[in-house]
Amino acid sequence: MSQTAKEEQPIGHISHFFSHLNVGIIDLKDSLRVGEKIHIKGHTTDFVQTVSSMQLEHEAVEEGKPGSSIGIKVEQHVREGDEVYRAA
């Protein structure tokens, strides 16, 4: 990747992955909005995607707040413990 983690702001981590739905659960420590670009990085994970939709307790929301756990559709396989950054 051309972007370094130094340019990116950590916003949370993956706490669960539902492979049959391609949905990752992110435990947020900062807010996240639909339309923002995120960078998911881990031991074998490294990709950037735009958040197209998110859910909080099975309800569609436009923004996830710090301290909440939100589900998003992910374009690739993610793993528990993968870090999530707001892409620079």
Q: Within 10 Å of residue 81's Cβ, how many Cβ atoms?
A: 11
Where do the domains of the chain lie? 5-86
Residue 6: pLDDT band with limits 50, 70, 90: low
| 27-53 pLDDT per residue, tens | 999 999 999 999 999 999 999 999 999
Instruction: Please check the confidence at residue 72 and state whether its pLDDT lies above 90.
Output: yes
Q: In Å, what is the CA distance from 41 to each residue of 13, 50, 60? A: 9, 14, 25
Block residue for tokens 């074998």: 44
Output the pLDDT for position 86. Answer: 97
Q: What is the CATH number of domain 5-86?
A: 2.40.30.10
pTM of the model: 0.91
User: Would you call 7 helix, strand, or coil by DSSP?
Assistant: helix
